[in-house]
Amino acid sequence: MEKEITKGDYGYYIYFYLYDENGQAFDVSGGVFRFKAQRYGEKTLKVEGTCSVVDPSGVVAYQVAKGDFDSTGLYRAEVEGSFPTAIRTWNRDLEQKPFTLKVISDLPQ
């Protein structure tokens, strides 16, 4: 999944569709979810925050906050789910494409 977003925008949601290893929607009931994003080539997280469950059948969302994406470039993203007996991380979509966010400049460029 590659999503293009505009530098400095905030208040909108980034949706993630989570699947199990068999390609079925993952039941997210009872989990607590965190969104993490790191700019390619850097060693520290740029963004970390809580996701909300949109649909127990594998849909969670992160609401972008002011300052989250104030630099253009490519970012790796992942969703981490904490459950009573396990922690699970998703960083690829159903087609095994990495969660990538492309932050672009606002117009005019």
Above 90 in pLDDT, residue 15? yes
The residue-averaged pLDDT of 10-20 equals 97
According to DSSP, the residues that pair with 89 across neighbouring strands are 80
Classify the phi-psi angles of 3: left when phi > 0, otherwise alpha if psi is within -120 to 50, otherwise beta: beta
Band (108; pLDDT cuts 50, 70, 90): confident
pLDDT tens, residue by residue, 43-94? 999 999 999 999 999 999 999 999 999 999 999 999 999 999 999 999 999 8
- Is-cis flag, bond preceding 84, omega within 30? no
Greater model confidence, 108 or 53: 53
Q: What domains sit in the chain, N to C, each tagged with a CATH number?
A: 2-104 (2.60.40)
